[in-house]
Structure 1
């Protein structure tokens, strides 16, 4: 499989706008470790190897354990995740799988119990953004480093 195109080269202005939004999300006040878990989980669901590599690497550099990353796809069955992480991951799955889930009221209510309104907007925007990055990654067959 080879890369189809390089998005920042193909449309620099649009890519710059995406990076600006990404920076706003990063500065939203959400914990960095939580953001990397959300990004990694959405990327797993969407099958974006480029993004899984990037965000799992970033998570480990920030102190995340390999065990929690390896168990991330089975987070519901693992005791390694905090209640706040669990509701964030449930909301991530609900929004990433939106056609199937319909964003259930129970998932929203759980998220609203753990996140203030501004944080919930930031989390939801983060989820939307990683899903957009995943579509660029998968659609253009972006290649992660080997090794």
Structure 2
């Protein structure tokens, strides 16, 4: 098991303006009216790709609060094969993977055209902003090994 390098709380105290900027940037997709469940699926998938346990746990918690079906949470890593995601969700996930894996390839016209078939220009801007933001958070969370925020169940006893 990997140990925490820098606690999230230390990051908050040391770089409050960086945290505030990332939080503000992250809110833009919600404020633009994009479907919150699609945004959370995107954040989950990007966090899986980037191996960020902290962000993955946060967005699993948020996704559950939003009522995302457990099957989608279980299968987002294999969304290509799962057959349970809508065309719009698939387009968002494909776009998120493309923008996350820029070191592997450039953003092709085909990839852009595919996302635009399901999202307006404005929605594509905010979807891309959400992907950029979670990638930034992932780089911090993975680099510093922020501890995942595990939620206590109602049946768990206080320590």
TM-score interval (norm. to shorter):
over 0.9
The CA deviation at 1:18 is 1.9
Per-residue deviation at 1:79? Answer: 1.1
> Partner of 2:26: helix, strand, or coil?
helix
Aligned residue pairs, count? 147
Greater helix fraction, Structure 1 or Structure 2: 1
Preserved CA contact (<8 Å) 1:39 1:130: yes
Q: Which residue of structure 1 lines up, in the alignment, with residue 156 of structure 2?
A: none
Alignment check: 8 A CA contact 1:95 1:101 kept: no
CA distance in structure 2 between the aligned counterparts of 1:18 and 1:145, rounded to whole angstroms: 18
Q: Equivalents in 1 of 2:30, 2:144: separation in Å?
A: 24
Aligned to 1:144: 148
Cα distance between partner residues in 2 of 1:13 and 1:72? 32
User: Are the equivalent residues in 1 in contact too, given 2:60–2:73 (CA < 8 A)?
Assistant: yes
**1:22-61 → structure 2 map (5 Å cutoff):** 22-61=26-65
- Give the root-mean-square deviation of aligned CA atoms: 1.3
State the distance in 1 between where 2:82 and 2:66 align. 21
Query: Which blocks of at least 5 consecutive residues in structure 2 are unaligned?
Result: 153-159
Are 1:4 and 2:2 matched, yes or no?
A: no
- Residue of structure 2 equivalent to 1:132: 136
CA distance in 2, matches of 1:78, 1:88: 15
2:103 aligns to what SS in structure 1? helix
Q: Deviations over 1:19-78 (max 9, x none)?
A: 222222321111000000000000000000011111011111111122111111110001
Please point out which of 103, 107, 122 is paired with 2:107: 103
CA distance in 2, matches of 1:140, 1:51: 12
**Computing the radius of gyration over CA atoms, which structure comes out larger, 1 or 2?**
2
User: TM-score, normalised on structure 2?
Assistant: 0.87
State the 1:7 CA deviation. 1.6
Deviating runs (4+, > 4 A) in structure 1? none
